[in-house]
Homo-oligomer: A and B are copies of this chain.
Amino acid sequence: MSVDPIVLFFLLGVGARLLRSDLRLPEAMYEGLSIFLLITIGLKGGVELAAHPLGPLLPQAGGVIAMGLALPLIAYPVLRGIGRLGRPDAASIAAHYGSVSMVTFAVALAWLADRKVPHEQYMPLFVVLLEVPGIIVGILIAKLGAGRGVHWGDLAREVFLGRSVVLLAGGLVIGWASGPHALEPQAKLFFDLFKGVLALFMLEMGLVAAGRIRELRRTGVFLLGFGTLMPIVFATLGILVGRTVGLSAGGSMLLGTLAGSASYIAAPAAMRIAVPEANPSLSLAAALGVTFPFNVIVGIPLYATIATRLFGPPI
């Protein structure tokens, strides 16, 4: 069987960086591609939302948000107890794993589409809902636990109006308000090119993920274990939550992937400002250097298998 080109692009980036090639994507291109992906995922979800009555989604949304609040509370004691990390670092890493990775979600989406597995098309709504709660809980752990105040105004702007939330949620609303027909003239850019852009973006992700691997030597073996086992636990939890709130097997697998993914865009930005005493290298090495590659290569097929086992019908 042929290998998924999306994974190959990622590996090309990893290889180029490990061999110390001078290959790098210009930063504007990286930003442009990520803007494109965020909007497109939003639009896709929004177009589908338009076809659904919103009422029945509310309980699902509530369950998903509750899960987002719970995840960092599970991760934190593990990081303190087993990882022996200080409060700021443990809280920061918990926030990263409580939030989500939009690219991991996109890869899972493409993976399901290639295999024609049905799933709720409005899943992007949950990406938006899951991005913020984990970060807020992580900050609360760091601040309140340390008996320190929080600038709630600044913080809210940082997390709710961060680039990725605005683009995802903006795309959702535009897709929802326009509907598929009005968006047709834009479809050739946003929808037709999505998987090609994702492949290019994975090249960049490979370059930056490999750049983080060096740091792992310094941070030791704990983060390696945490970055691979915690996602499996979280993903399983996500799949169970999906099942509980009534998602299909495909949708539950996607929710599991979200739960098992770690944020490396929104969370690092917010935590650096809110908890500057945490070492940003630790959390980024784990989220980007371990968990992202793990999910892309091992996790996604694994979570599909888990979902299949739990649901019965094979994905």
In the bound complex, what is the Cα–Cα distance between A158 and B192 (angstroms)?
36
A103 interface hit (Cβ, 8 Å): no
A140 on the B face (CB < 8 A): no
CA distance A9 to B22 in the complex (A): 30
Residue pair A12, B174 in contact (C-beta under 8 Å): yes
Given contacts A2-B177, A2-B179, A3-B178, contact A162 B22 (CB under 8 A): yes
Q: A83 contacts the other chain (Cβ, under 8 Å)?
A: no
The number of chain A residues with a CB under 8 A from chain B is 57
Query: Which of B4, B28, B110, B182 contacts A3, CB < 8 Å?
Result: B182
Binding site secondary structure of chain A: helix
Q: How far is the CB of A286 from chain B (nearest CB, A)?
A: 24
Known A-B contacts: A4-B182, A5-B186. Give 4 more (CB < 8 A). Answer: A2-B179, A5-B178, A23-B166, A193-B193
Task: State the A residues within 8 Å of B (CB).
Answer: 2-5, 8-9, 12, 15-16, 19-23, 25-29, 31-32, 35-36, 39, 110, 113-114, 157-158, 161-163, 166-167, 170, 173-174, 177-179, 181-183, 185-190, 192-193, 195-197, 199-200, 203
Q: List 19 A-B contacts (CB under 8 A).
A: A2-B182, A3-B182, A4-B178, A8-B178, A9-B174, A12-B170, A15-B170, A16-B161, A20-B157, A21-B157, A21-B161, A29-B32, A35-B200, A113-B185, A186-B196, A188-B195, A189-B193, A189-B195, A190-B196
